[in-house]
Amino acid sequence: MGKSGSVLALFLFFLSLSVHAQQAGASANPAFEPVTTVQQRPIFLDVAATDSSGKPVGDLEPFDISVLDEGQQRKILGFRRTDGSVGSKLDPPVEVIIVLDAVNLPYQATTRLRLEIDKFLRENGGHLAQPVSIYMFTSEGLRVQPAPSKDGNALAAMLDESTGTVRARDLSGGVYSLQEQFQSSYKTISGIAENLSHKAGRKVVIWLGPGWPLLTERFFIQTDVSRETYFRQIAALQNKLREARITLYSLFTIAGVTNTLYENYLKPVREVRKMEIGDMAVQVLALHSGGRVLEPSNDVKGQIDACVAEVGEYYTIAFAPPPAAKADEYHDLKVTVGRPGVTVRTNSGYYNEPAGH
């Protein structure tokens, strides 16, 4: 079979896997090996590949890509290539979602960020390269526009009208206020992931703000029960971000202030006893999703431009995970390309679940 025939066969099987993931008990395509004998749900990954200059690489084939799951190579069962700028019959163009985090920022910084978003929306006469949505996370909750749009001027007008509603949370409550900030932030990003999991296609979520408190003081996790609660939460959130096809970017937006505390929590959490709230930092989630953490800058509009510029051709692949021995069993992922000078970004791992879980 020639190269084009091989790609077509893999593509058709990819479609059968999509149906399998949605319909429990559906049999695998008889022309291929079954996913597993215990009907494990396939893992889908969006993979971005770039050359040495940072430009997207759009001509990879299935045989160029290898997937290592806990160091063991997995057979790629599905493969497709998509131009994120224009989309395809199966995937719409990549949606860019800008989250203005007014809860974890002082009011003055929130106002400046709103102006930076306005500049981004109005550049090029308001003609946006990707469909964009603006989410505003405030003390009153999360405000979401009805639908993504490429009309930057209309989005900017909407943002102007909402100026009076953007208020940061009152942070005068000490320890209890910090805990409330964290809980509200966690519920918000979890809700975003849950809602976006019902929408087709890949999404780039740009979180504007320093992120929520890491609650590193020991008294924030006092018992094994609370540790297990947070462990289940991070497992569910990381899996939901992947399933929603979210690549998360974290823009730390206070120039001159460096926040590197999150770097202490970049190792994946495999056991309940090692769980810390810092493991749920927005920067950690961003890097584990295949996204980036951008350094503090006054040119936030330029940083948003840089994130959007990374939207190009990408690859969606599928593989069958091994049977899980327990719930929330962490698996390290490594995707490599057998071509010099090409690097890839994708999810760094997943929490495997027993069949039927």
Please write the tens of the pLDDT for every residue from 143-202. 998 899 999 999 999 998 876 555 555 555 567 788 888 999 999 999 999 999 999 999
Question: In angstroms, rounded to a whole number, what is the distance separating the alpha carbons of residues 6 and 321?
Answer: 22
pLDDT at 257: 57
HSE-CB for 4 with a 13 A CA cutoff: 0
For residues 6 and 71, the answer to whether their CB atoms sit within 8 Å is: no
Cα(345)–Cα(319) distance, rounded to whole angstroms?
17
CB 300 within 8 A of CB 255: no
Structure tokens at 123: 């550049």
Task: Return all residues near 177 (Cβ < 8 A) that are at least 6 apart.
Answer: 169, 170, 171
Can you give the pLDDT at residue 357? 64
Residue 135 pLDDT: 96
Q: What is the pLDDT of residue 328?
A: 96
Identify the three-state secondary structure at position 316: strand
The pLDDT assigned to 42 comes to 93
Phi/psi at 333 (5° precision): -115, 140
Intervals of the chain under pLDDT 50: 1-38
Among residues 270, 199, 198, 262, which one has the least CA distance to residue 238? 270
CA distances from 156 to 90, 105, 150, 298 (A): 30, 21, 11, 20
Q: List residues bridging with 221 in a β-sheet.
A: none
Chain centre to alpha carbon of residue 225: 28
**pLDDT at residue 168, rounded to an integer:** 55
Beta carbons of 247 and 46 less than 8 angstroms apart: yes
Question: What pLDDT, on the 0 to 100 scale, is given for residue 223?
Answer: 81
| Domain 95-309 fold | Rossmann fold (3.40.50)
**Tens digits of per-residue pLDDT, 279-307?**
999 999 999 999 999 988 889 999 999 99
What is the phi/psi pair of residue 304, to 5°? -60, -45
Q: Where in the chain is the domain with CATH 3.40.50.410?
A: 95-309
What backbone torsions phi and psi does residue 12 show, to the nearest 5 degrees? -65, -40
